Amino acid sequence: MRQQSSDIMSPTAAVESGRRPAPRSRAIEMATAWIRHRRDARIRPDMETADQVLDRLVARHTAGEAVGNVVVVVAHPDDEAIGAGAVLRGVPNVTIVHATDGAPADDEYAQTRGFDSRASYARARRTETIAALGVIGIPETRIRNLGITDGETAWKMVELCHAVRDILDELNPDVVLTHPYEGGHSDHDSTALAVHLAVGLIQRDRGCAPVILELTSYHNYNGRRRRFSFLPALGTRVRTRVLSAADRRVKRQVFELFQSQRSTLQSFSLEVERFRQAPRYLFTVPPHEGQLDYERLCPRMTGAEWRAQAERALQLLRTKEQFRGI
């Protein structure tokens, strides 16, 4: 569930405690969230299991034998390398799933990257990804792409959820590693939503489900993009892997093989990787106050539009009775 600050409580609780309730508009928003949180949040996290897996994941010499079967579900080719390239080098049984092919719909964007078309840019990104992930021991057979156009996952949330569910059913992982819901990129948020929905389905049907862990992405912090940190979330603890010289050397090699993304990757540090258990999110309310990071850069997508699409996806899935009881 999305963290609320210590001075925020439900209107009912405020009255019972004798504290003055929030202004009416905020009180209405909180009351709506209070009612919705049980149906919007997907799963109840197993804190003890997640803590153990996190400790093993960031340990330098035990991750390989201790975390089991891992599926990484991220939005774009290179997101896994940015957030977990060093740690994943020590996990032998890992599959990478990219929601998008990494190429926006506009051919002009591809041309700014030196390619004649969107299709050729997407092919190059696939080739780069195979080469880069090969450095950390992940073969092409363990790199999957769901083929959604970069920037368009918000309009494909239902399909994305089904595709992620199918892969998790097939691979039966112990751990799913994905993005936090932070408003950094609309594709990141859509991917996080799809993972939570898919894992919720699995929990409903089987009575148990993989642990959802998060790698860092980025988000808007005081008007600037902040990387390698999470937005605060109630009840979660962050684990940090300080990268060794060997880690940094390998990760730098991985970054260099994403040739079309070199200018972008220069802004990401090689010093640390951070992870946490995914909190219970309210995907139908903003992840934080103020402008979201992608709202500064993307003319097609606002937070309000993304949340409207998330609500639509939830309603469609409920109509099909696929999420009853979650």
Each residue's pLDDT tens digit, 6-63? 332 333 333 333 333 333 344 444 444 433 343 444 444 455 678 888 888 888 665 4
Predicted TM-score (pTM) of this structure: 0.84
Query: Which residues have a Cβ under 8 Å from the Cβ of 15 and sit 6 or more positions away?
Result: 21
In whole angstroms, what is the distance from residue 172 CA to residue 132 CA? 25
- Asked if residue 239 lies in contact with residue 274, where contact means CB atoms within 8 angstroms, the answer is yes
Position 56 scores a pLDDT of 86
Report yes or no on 13 lying in a domain.
Answer: no
What confidence tier does 78 reach under pLDDT thresholds 50, 70, 90? very high
Span 130-148, average pLDDT: 97
What confidence tier does 298 reach under pLDDT thresholds 50, 70, 90? confident
Quote the domain boundaries for residue 107: 43-319
Q: Which residue, among 249, 321, 206, has the nearest Cα to 85 in the 3D structure?
A: 249
pLDDT greater at residue 232 or residue 2: 232
Report yes or no on 230 lying in a domain.
Answer: yes
**142: CATH:** 3.40.50.10320
Report yes or no on 325 lying in a domain.
Answer: no
In whole angstroms, what is the distance from residue 110 CA to residue 261 CA? 12
pLDDT digits (tens, 9 = 90+) for 80-109: 999 999 999 988 899 999 999 999 999 999
Total domains present in the chain: 1
Query: Which residues have a Cβ under 8 Å from the Cβ of 56 and sit 6 or more positions away?
Result: 62, 63, 66, 67
Position 320 scores a pLDDT of 57
Report yes or no on 2 lying in a domain.
Answer: no
- Asked if residue 189 lies in contact with residue 182, where contact means CB atoms within 8 angstroms, the answer is yes
- Across the chain, what does the average pLDDT equal? 84
Position 47 scores a pLDDT of 57
Position 278 scores a pLDDT of 95
Report yes or no on 23 lying in a domain.
Answer: no
Judged against a pLDDT cut of 70, whether residue 67 lies above it is answered with yes
Q: Where are the alpha helices (DSSP H) in the chain?
A: 11-17, 24-40, 47-58, 63-66, 79-88, 107-112, 118-135, 157-171, 186-206, 245-257, 262-265, 303-319
Report yes or no on 324 lying in a domain.
Answer: no
Report yes or no on 36 lying in a domain.
Answer: no
pLDDT digits (tens, 9 = 90+) for 213-258: 999 999 999 889 999 999 999 888 999 999 999 999 999 999 999 9
What confidence tier does 124 reach under pLDDT thresholds 50, 70, 90? very high
The share of the chain scoring above pLDDT 70, in percent, equals 81
134, two tokens: 């090969």
Report yes or no on 35 lying in a domain.
Answer: no
